[in-house]
Amino acid sequence: MMSKALPRRALGRTRLQVSVLGFGTAPLGDLYMQLDDQAAIATVDRAFALGINLLDTSPLYGHGLAEHRCGTAIRRVPRHAIVLCTKVGRWMDPFHGRGDGSNFVGGQPHRAVVDYSYDGTMRSVEQSLLRLSTDRIDLLLIHDVDVWTHGADAIEARFREAMEGAYVALDRLRSEGVVAGIGVGVNEADMCVRFANAGRFDAMLLAGRYSLLEQPGLAEFLPLAEQQGIGVMLGGVFNSGILATGAVKGAKYNYKDAPPEIMNKVARIERVCKAHGVALPTAALHFALGHPAVASVVLGAQGPQEVERNVAALSSQVPAALWADLKSEHLLDADVPVPSQA
């Protein structure tokens, strides 16, 4: 059963209406820890029950496992009630082992093959449709074309391959009505700008580069998204953990232990939040939704209780004075958009 309790926003120029809180499924691919199927699927069920209708997944997550689990979950609700987003750029080779170096401790025993070609993209989409047990996908994103993933020496070749291959394939699928929108999902605001200037994209998922802690996406990408009618989804709004945990020992920033300057800034932000009686992750979530280009914030969860906690944080009130104090202490720039609620 699906609730409509969460607010929804239009996703760019698409006809899609997405909940302001989306569900990210990397944990369902056994990211850092293994989940059993029952717990994973129950987490998606709870997200749907609380009004989350945007489900963001990828072949990479558990090398297909997250998509398999999502496929089971979405069969329990009307397909039209879900906005289903997955990604291209990797297809799974079932005949070879996974190799080493993955953060997905469980998952499927299949090797991820990086491939942004036209044929590789079509292969990836076909595999995703089979794993998701559906005949259509609402959003397809070109995944991880960024320096973070491929390195500075390879990024130009990867970008060219993506525009000459994956983009052409997705544009065709959009024109045929197989998908409602196409876009990119990356970790760098500069790459969002490059893609936005190179093709006609409907949506972009930017991870970690627009948060209460840092706003590299503010100067160029978010205004460009507004101008072009690109719907923005934000991931990583806790910067890999530190905006959820606070500046505690071992706090993570960009998947590593946070350096002293980040710890210090977060501690200062946390003091302002505490003075207003607002939990740090609640402020971080509300801040991310304060920019007019942002349609949804995508958060992962490992269990139903985490989904409930995220939805509760969204329902909490954040006083305008908190944003004013963060700006007066130069923890936010004076012109950064903030939520308008009192």
Cα–Cα separations (whole angstroms), residue 179 to 13, 99, 197, 241, 252: 14, 32, 21, 33, 36
Query: Would you call 56 a catalytic residue per the annotation?
Result: yes
Query: Would you call 144 a catalytic residue per the annotation?
Result: no
CA gap 252, 167 in Å, rounded: 34
Q: How far is CA 326 from the centre of its chain?
A: 26
User: Is the pLDDT assigned to residue 9 strictly greater than 50?
Assistant: yes
What is the average pLDDT across 202-228? 97
Confidence (pLDDT) at 5 = 76
Extended beta strands in 229-320, E state: 231-235, 252-253, 256-257, 294-300
Contact (CB, 8 A) for 60 and 77? no
The percentage of the chain sitting over the pLDDT mark of 90, rounded to a whole number, equals 92
Work out how many domains the chain is built from and give that number. Answer: 1
341 versus 177: the higher-pLDDT residue is 177
CATH number at residue 27: 3.20.20.100
119 in any annotated domain: yes
Decide the pairing of beta strands 139-143 and 111-114: unpaired
Decide the pairing of beta strands 139-143 and 181-186: parallel
Task: Quote the tokens at residue 82.
Answer: 């879900």
What is the average pLDDT across 44-68? 97
Q: What is the pLDDT of residues 253-283, one digit of tens each?
A: 988 899 999 999 999 999 999 999 999 999 9
168 in any annotated domain: yes
Confidence (pLDDT) at 101 = 65
**Residue 228: exposure state from Cβ atoms within 10 A (0-12, 13-18, ≥19):** middle
336 in any annotated domain: no
Tokens 């963060």 belong to: 326
In this structure, which amino acid lies at residue 189? A
Q: What is the pLDDT of residues 275-333, one digit of tens each?
A: 999 999 999 999 999 999 999 999 999 999 999 999 999 999 999 999 999 999 999 99
CA gap 234, 208 in Å, rounded: 8
327 in any annotated domain: no
Number of Cβ within a 10 Å radius of residue 306: 16
Q: Considering the candidates 4, 30, 37, 56, report the single residue annotated as catalytic.
A: 56
User: Is the pLDDT assigned to residue 341 strictly greater than 80?
Assistant: no
In this structure, which amino acid lies at residue 286? H
- 342 band by pLDDT with thresholds 50, 70 and 90: very low
Q: What is the pLDDT of residues 117-133, one digit of tens each?
A: 999 999 999 999 999 99
Question: 216 φ, ψ to 5°?
Answer: -60, -25
67 in any annotated domain: yes
- 204 closest CA partner among 160, 144, 141, 147: 141
What is the average pLDDT across 135-149? 96
Q: Considering the candidates 87, 167, 202, 253, report the single residue annotated as catalytic.
A: 87
Parent domain of 28: 8-259+279-314
Confidence (pLDDT) at 260 = 96
Out of 28-32, 120-124, 168-172, 257-261, which region has the weakest mean confidence (pLDDT)? 28-32
What is the average pLDDT across 159-174? 98
CA gap 15, 21 in Å, rounded: 18
pTM: 0.95
Q: Considering the candidates 30, 61, 167, 202, report the single residue annotated as catalytic.
A: 61
Contact (CB, 8 A) for 160 and 168? no
The percentage of the chain sitting over the pLDDT mark of 70, rounded to a whole number, equals 98
Confidence (pLDDT) at 1 = 57
Confidence (pLDDT) at 248 = 95
CA gap 57, 128 in Å, rounded: 10
Query: Would you call 210 a catalytic residue per the annotation?
Result: no
46 in any annotated domain: yes
- 340 band by pLDDT with thresholds 50, 70 and 90: confident
Strand partners, 128: none
User: Is the pLDDT assigned to residue 222 strictly greater than 70?
Assistant: yes
Tokens 């946070």 belong to: 258
| Mean predicted lDDT score pLDDT of the chain | 95
Calculated CA dihedral for residues 112, 118, 124, 130, nearest 10 degrees: -160
339 in any annotated domain: no
329 in any annotated domain: no
Question: 46 φ, ψ to 5°?
Answer: -70, -40
CA gap 212, 284 in Å, rounded: 5
